[in-house]
Amino acid sequence: MTTASPHGGVAYERFTTSGPVALLPEGDRYGLVWTMTPQAAASAMQWSDEQFLAELACHFGARRNDFTSVRERRTFPLSLELAQPAVAARAVLIGNAAQSLHPIAGQGFNLGLRDAFELAQEIGAAPAESLGSHAMLARYAARRRMDRYAGVAFTHGLTHLFALDGAIFAWPRGLALAALDALPFAKRAFTRAMLFGVS
- Could you tell me the fold of the domain covering 2-69? D-Amino Acid Oxidase; Chain A, domain 2 (3.30.9)
Q: Where in the chain is the domain with CATH 3.30.9.10?
A: 2-69
Q: Report pLDDT digits (tens) over 51-75.
A: 999 999 988 888 888 999 999 999 9
pLDDT tens, 124-157? Answer: 999 999 998 999 999 999 999 998 888 888 777 7
pLDDT for res 162: 64
Residue 76 phi/psi, 5° resolution?
-155, 150
The neighbour count for residue 126, using CB atoms within 10 Å, is 17
pLDDT(2) > 80: yes
Within 10 Å of residue 29's Cβ, how many Cβ atoms?
18
pLDDT for 125:
93
Crossing angle of helices 134-163 and 167-182, in 10° steps, is: 120
pLDDT digit string (tens) for 61-111?
Answer: 888 889 999 999 999 887 778 888 899 988 999 988 888 877 776 678 888
Distance between CA atoms of residues 59 and 102, nearest Å = 20
pLDDT recorded at residue 173: 66
Q: Tell me: pLDDT of 164 over 70.
A: no
- Return all residues near 173 (Cβ < 8 A) that are at least 6 apart: 161, 162, 164
pLDDT tens for residues 6-51? Answer: 999 999 988 777 778 889 999 999 999 998 889 999 999 999 999 9
Q: Is the pLDDT of residue 187 over 90?
A: no
d(CA 141, CA 144): 5
Instruction: Please report how many Cα atoms fall inside a 13 Å half-sphere around the Cα of residue 69, on the Cβ side.
Output: 5
From CA 10, how far away is CA 101, in angstroms rounded? Answer: 23
Q: Examine the pLDDT at 194 and tell me if it is beyond 70.
A: no
| C-alpha closest to that of 63 among 20, 23, 103, 26 | 23
